[in-house]
Amino acid sequence: MKLLIINPYDYKTVQSNPGLLSLLRILENKHIDYSLTVSGATINDGFKYVEMPQKPGDPGIERATHLNSRQVMNDLTHLVAVDPEGAVIAMRLLDLSKRRGIRCSYISYEILFKDEIILPWEQQLKEADLAYLRLCKEILIQDNVRGRMFLDEMGMNLGLHYAPIAPLQYFGKSPNRDVIRKTLGLPLDKTILVYSGSFEPYAKPDWWVKIAENLPKNYVFILTCFDSMQYRTPVAARVVHILSRIGNTLFVPKELPYDKYMQLLSVCDVGLALFRPAYRHWADGRNIRQMGLSSGKFCNYVSCGLPVICDSNQDKFHSLATSYPVIQTVTTSDEILSKLKVLSEPGFDVDACCKKLFDEALNPRSGIETYLEALHH
């Protein structure tokens, strides 16, 4: 089996997706011949990347032409498209190469809903997505809630395989907490509430201000992301300015490599995973309503032994919260303080509960391996 995975995103986005990294690790461990396309430059980290030109607004033609010129289709047996923007490149590549008999499959991280389309290029993207899916049998997606959304939207009978966007192992809390905190310049005597990920409006940055205003004196709030350019956007810059004046918020100014990022999480105490539809882009409308186990931050937090405060209107989080007390859901920012108190109660074995949650609901290995096995048949 020789796979080409058409990933339309850049290297920083790949690093922010623990589920995709888990897939690459399994491909390496199984000695499966693969390559993963990446938009723009990459770093040599042991995985097999094919760099593509960054072409904002390109409907896939130039990037497909580039891939075809690299002869990536030679001896290829399987083509895997990631999301609609990967599907449009895959369709162009199939047309250009004239190859037949290639097994096509799909990985869904983002869902493009037809009733949210307003621009011509979004319509083209949707048409290419549906055309490519008609060539597929196997779909890798994160959980049953996302799966139902996907099938309802596509209107096709497709075989779903579930794998949360999570690392392959449970790391838990670092035994070297004080040493790592000193290295990272973090206070040793504070309980750390951490938010990691996008600084876009769908992540509720207005809540961050309210949270910082209400945090107890023994807490500090940390913000980090996988792309430091986000600090320069108007919304983020304004919120960071306000938080800086409050005085109990720390910022990780540069993106960290994935292993360093996980090391940071392992010395924090509580993670924050908040979402709301913003409708500024096709991927942050209804697609955000039910993030579930497609939230890399949520899965990373738990794998590092952090309890998580998240939205009660997210069905998957709400369901998990009924069985795992390390998941605390809220409907307003005012509830966060009481949830922090619940999570700090004595006798609560956070690590054991996080490990149980990871082992029973988040470990992606079985889903990825089942998906790859299906590609053989």
The confidence score (pLDDT) of residue 57 equals: 63
**pLDDT band at residue 335, thresholds of 50, 70 and 90?**
very high
The reply to whether 185 falls in a domain is yes
| One domain, residues 330 and 238 | yes
| One domain, residues 116 and 228 | no
| Mean of per-residue pLDDT scores for the chain | 94
- pLDDT tens-digit readout, 102-143: 999 999 999 999 999 999 999 999 999 999 999 999 999 999
Distances (CA, A) of 178 to 181, 183, 187, 323: 5, 9, 9, 32
Question: DSSP alpha helices (H): ranges in the chain?
Answer: 11-15, 18-29, 61-69, 83-97, 120-133, 144-154, 177-184, 205-214, 234-246, 258-265, 286-289, 296-303, 315-321, 336-343, 350-357, 365-375
The reply to whether 374 falls in a domain is no
The reply to whether 19 falls in a domain is yes
| One domain, residues 222 and 338 | yes
- pLDDT tens-digit readout, 220-240: 999 999 888 888 888 889 999
How much is the average pLDDT of 151-179? Answer: 95
How much is the average pLDDT of 8-37? Answer: 96
How much is the average pLDDT of 32-58? Answer: 90
| One domain, residues 128 and 210 | no
User: For residue 55, is pLDDT > 80?
Assistant: no
CB 297 within 8 A of CB 320: no
The CATH number covering residue 125 comes to 3.40.50.2000
| One domain, residues 7 and 109 | yes
| One domain, residues 260 and 143 | no
The reply to whether 32 falls in a domain is yes
The reply to whether 372 falls in a domain is no
| One domain, residues 208 and 356 | yes
Q: Lowest-confidence range among 165-169, 186-190, 284-288, 344-348?
A: 344-348
- Please tell me the pTM assigned to this model: 0.95
| One domain, residues 210 and 99 | no
| One domain, residues 50 and 115 | yes
Longest dimension (CA), the chain: 64
| One domain, residues 81 and 191 | no
Q: Lowest-confidence range among 61-65, 109-113, 161-165?
A: 61-65
Quote the number of domains for the chain.
2
The reply to whether 141 falls in a domain is yes
User: For residue 48, is pLDDT > 70?
Assistant: yes
The confidence score (pLDDT) of residue 125 equals: 95
User: For residue 318, is pLDDT > 90?
Assistant: yes
The confidence score (pLDDT) of residue 56 equals: 66
**End residue of a domain, out of 103, 133, 162:** 162
| One domain, residues 35 and 181 | no
The reply to whether 373 falls in a domain is no
| One domain, residues 269 and 229 | yes
The reply to whether 376 falls in a domain is no
Which residue range(s) make up the domain with 302? 177-362
**pLDDT band at residue 62, thresholds of 50, 70 and 90?**
confident
